[in-house]
Amino acid sequence: MGYYALKGEKQDKFYDKHNNAITTFVEAHKYMTRILNGRKSIPLDEWKREYAGLITQRDVLMADSDKLATELRSAETIKRFTDKLMGADEPARKRSYDLGM
């Protein structure tokens, strides 16, 4: 027996007992009505195409991110070795000795 078939005190007791489920149903109904935008059925094919496109876009972005992370690690390694070869650390060490530290 449904909520709307009940009358009076029975309906109130049913509502009190199943308040969460009724509220969830009403909110879901409002959401689906807004999403469907006048259509009678859920546009699964359209949603599947959109989902597939978003997954592809995510995969491309993740690949780009991985490539950039690899390039960054390589650039940092190159910078560290060139600094070491150029002696960038030595003036700082010499100054600390000159100051008597």
Same domain, 47 and 72: yes
Q: How big is the CA angle at 25 (ends 23 and 27), to the nearest 5 degrees?
A: 70
Q: Give the CA dihedral 89, 82, 84, 90, nearest 10 degrees.
A: -30
pTM (whole model) above 0.75:
no
Task: With H, G, I as helix, E, B as strand and everything else as coil, classify residue 33.
Answer: helix
Highest average pLDDT, of 14-18, 71-75, 90-94, 96-100, comes from 71-75
Whether residue 97 sits in one domain with residue 52: yes
The per-residue pLDDT for range 28-54, each reduced to its tens digit, is 999 888 888 888 888 889 989 999 999
State the residue range of the domain holding 3: 1-42
pLDDT band, residue 100 (cuts 50/70/90)? low
Q: Enter the tokens of residue 7.
A: 């009358």
> Is residue 101 located within the same domain as residue 69?
yes
Length of the chain: 101
Q: What is the Cα gyration radius of the chain? A: 33
| 12 shares its domain with 50 | no
**80 has a pLDDT exceeding 60:** yes
